[in-house]
Structure 1
Amino acid sequence: MTMLLMQKLPATAVLAALLAPAPALAHPHVFAEARLEIETSADGRVTELRNVWRFDEVFSSSVILDFDEDSNLELDAGELAKISDMVTQSLAEFDYYTTVTVNGADVEIALPEAIKVDYQDGQLLMFFAVIPKTELQLSGNIHVAVFDPTMYAALDFLNDEDMMVTGASASHCTRSVVRPDPDEIIAQNQDSLTEAFFDTTTNNDLSKLLATRLELDCK
């Protein structure tokens, strides 16, 4: 957690820990069920990548305690807007936890609208779409992963159907969901994973290697 966030939001330690840089940890402390939809156009372009995150009840309850200013055990529109503002600003540094590559090269993304926040059935929801900064054609090998590089939060795609391609060109590419085996990944990279690696936030290689990803093979 950065000192800036600690000064501005002393009562929101749990939410700030999710959103601010923090030392990489051995296991996550916040859990969310995630869904990703890659929308395509009729002319074979990726138009937006839609994300939905539903957070666990323990974390959601902590957010209510911190942001429920009128103590009615609910989050009204104004309170949700404050969470939205904080999330939108904080996640920008991490590209909104969304990584896109084409043939191994990174693709820059942008957030056209603020992250929307809701509270339903005792759980906090965040939903938003990011767009490629430049035109992204459905061509070559496109990989998309959504993960927290600090490893504080676990964004879990419980089913392969939670990572989908939608829209007019959805059938243009062969789709596969890759779920790396943590033990295998760590064994393969044992020589480079020193104690210092786990104590820094400047290197997110491990979190990227462990992340579930959607791979598209487009001809």
Structure 2
Amino acid sequence: MKTTRKSGLARLAFAGICLLALPTSAGAHPHIFAEARLEVMLGDDGKVEELRHVWRFDEFFSSTVMLEFDANSNLELEQEELEAIGETVKQSLGDFDYYTAIHRNGVDLGVQAPDRIFANFENGQLLMFFAVKPKDDAPLDGKLTFGVYDPTMYAAIDFVNDGDMVVMGNAGGCESAVVRPDPDQVLAEMQGSLTEAFFNDPEGYDISQLFATRLEVTC
């Protein structure tokens, strides 16, 4: 994933309001929280067709977006306003591969931009729905890994239950498993290299990927 100093969702939340002045260091830990679902859709040709996302955001972030995009100040997000949110997110998250990482046998396949990001507001919370396709072919061969995370650590995308990350379609003889890394174990394993690598190039070192919940498909 390509990273820059300001998280894509931070751009959405703070576009045009005073919180835009928050220092970059504020991104060192999450300020935005979302519960998510990921469906890896398989095609009849035995390849990954697309990844379908559902994100439900915390009430604080949702209310911030409401205030920013409620153009007529009626405390409701109408269709045009919801479409504006979706388009803003589509533009903002392009630099971050839409928080989606697809690896096949260790190679990053990249993702295509979604045709559209749909937004809705339900029970005081913002929801987003969209689908992305791999840039490169992703046949079910070897090991495929699917992760959803913000490389700037500004937003925390959380899969509450293992059933929130699933493979849909005929996976043949492949096995899938949700992996939740143990932070203490990750840090212990990287003790010898983390400090030098991180402090020499903190922006180029995608440390958030190491801690992100991921779906692994082994064939």
Class of the TM-score when normalised by the shorter of the 2 chains: 0.7 to 0.9
SS of the residue corresponding to residue 151 of structure 1 reads coil
Query: Pick from 45, 48, 60: which aligns with 2:47?
Result: 45
The answer as to whether partners of 1:23 and 1:201 remain within 8 angstroms in 2 is no
SS of the residue corresponding to residue 208 of structure 1 reads helix
Q: Spell out, residue by residue over 1:63-85, the C-alpha distance to the aligned partner (whole angstroms, 9 max, x if none).
A: 11111111111111111121111
SS of the residue corresponding to residue 52 of structure 1 reads strand
Distance in structure 2 (CA, Å) of the matches to 1:12 and 1:52: 29
Distance in structure 2 (CA, Å) of the matches to 1:67 and 1:42: 41
TM-score, length-scaled by structure 2: 0.86
- Kindly tell me the number of residue pairs found equivalent between the two proteins: 210
Q: What is the letter of the counterpart of residue 181 of structure 1?
A: D
The answer as to whether partners of 1:23 and 1:150 remain within 8 angstroms in 2 is no
Residue 12 (structure 2) pairs with residue 10 (structure 1): no
Per mean C-alpha deviation after superposition, the further-off stretch among 37-46 and 183-192 is 183-192
Distance apart, 1:101 and its partner CA: 0.6
Query: Pick from 77, 92, 95: which aligns with 2:94?
Result: 92
Unpaired stretches in structure 1, ≥5 consecutive residues: none
Distance apart, 1:11 and its partner CA: 2.2
Distance in structure 2 (CA, Å) of the matches to 1:198 and 1:74: 45
SS of the residue corresponding to residue 194 of structure 2 reads coil
Q: Spell out, residue by residue over 1:10-69, the C-alpha distance to the aligned partner (whole angstroms, 9 max, x if none).
A: 22847x98xxx9547442111000110001122211111101110011111111111111
Distance in structure 1 (CA, Å) of the matches to 2:27 and 2:15: 22
Please give the root-mean-square deviation of Cα atoms over the aligned residues, in Å.
2.7
Aligned residues with identical type, % of pairs: 53
Query: Pick from 75, 79, 82: which aligns with 1:80?
Result: 82
Partner of 2:209: 208
Unpaired stretches in structure 2, ≥5 consecutive residues: none
Query: Pick from 79, 100, 103: which aligns with 1:101?
Result: 103
